[in-house]
Amino acid sequence: MSFDQPNAVAAINQAVAATSEDGNCSDVIGKSLDTPIEKTLPAYDEKLSFGLRPAAKDKRAEIGGVNWGKIEKDVARLNGLAAAIDNIASVVRSGKDRLAHDWKGESFDSFRAAVEKIEQTLADYSIAVKTTANGFTTAVNNIRTLYAAYRDECTGSVLNFSGYVPPDDWYKIGEKEIQFLKWCGHCVAFCDKEDMARSILMGHALQRVNYEWFHDWEGRDHEGDAHTALSFSEEERSKISRKINEFYVATDELKDPVGEAYDVALENLRILADSQVFSALQVPGAAGGGPEAGGDPGPGGGDTGGYPGGGGPGGGEAAMPPQSEPHPQPEPAQVEPAAAPEPAQPKPAEVVSDGETV
């Protein structure tokens, strides 16, 4: 009689080999957002002195590093494990069915019950592994969707500064700018334009239109003109600040659902890892090193060709489940020893009534 051989390792290897580790969140929120995050926002920060902390690039890095390709590789390992378990269960089932043709009686009934328990355990464990793998697949798909939505929100609105004064059209007022703004072609005796510009505008930022207006305006109320130019520029600066804040808020809002998706998947994996599925199962005959001499060796006598599987017995031994206790038999009658004490002359064995010799 021959038995199917398990192919569990190959099942795992095939599942893993069929899945690539490629795929990273940077594919979604990387290049498409580089220009606004690495150029536009730093330029605004420099000109308008927002003091962005963390910097925009570092803020994006807070949601970076999600490698769903590696997660999908782990999902493949889980599916490979399930396939391996299914393969082992199939071999166990096939072996049981083949033995059923030649092995009858109570001993086989006990064996079948034990094997079917193993079959059910393997089936349940396979389902649990597949469920965990499916949970990770769902989590990865949800995370991909969240990142894609975040990218679309950023490119479509959050980091779209169309209609806003661009960074190059802002002047951060320093000494060089004061020397330009102080020009006045109207005051004759006394002109406080430079003093007003220095005291009101120094260190602030003016958009180009207000910067040039203050320089060219023919009015003589230089203090009022400086406040007017600064007021219009501050209004635009506040709009840009709120716009940039939307990016920081959107990035923070992405973290929670991504983390929740991970937590659910990892909790399922923890439950699976902590379960003691096989702790109650024992390899039949392992404690005693095989069937006892004189016991029921199973169908075909003592030589069945060996059980398949690395944990089973070697060739020529059939690992059997514990047999039901035999019915008590009457003990043979005791015969008095011969009178002669010499060990070299033992008395021949006598036959007792039940056919056994002593």
Query: How far is residue 316's CA from residue 313's CA, in Å, rounded to a whole number?
Result: 8
In terms of Cα–Cα distance, which of 15, 261, 302 is closest to 130?
Answer: 15
Report d(CA 317, CA 297) in Å as an integer.
Answer: 8
pTM: 0.69
Q: Is the four-CA dihedral 18, 24, 29, 33 of positive or negative sign?
A: negative
Q: What confidence tens digit (pLDDT) does each residue in 121-166 have?
A: 899 899 999 999 999 999 999 999 999 999 999 999 999 999 999 9
pLDDT digits (tens, 9 = 90+) for 245-269: 999 999 999 999 999 988 888 888 8
**Do 311 and 327 meet the contact criterion of CB atoms below 8 Å apart?**
no
In the chain, the amino acid numbered 49 is S
Residue 349 gets which letter from DSSP?
Answer: P
Tokens describing residue 189: 């005796």
Confidence of residue 239 (pLDDT cuts 50, 70, 90): very high
Diameter of the chain measured on Cα atoms: 156
pLDDT band at 177 (very low <50, low <70, confident <90, very high): very high
Q: Supply the DSSP symbol for 171.
A: E
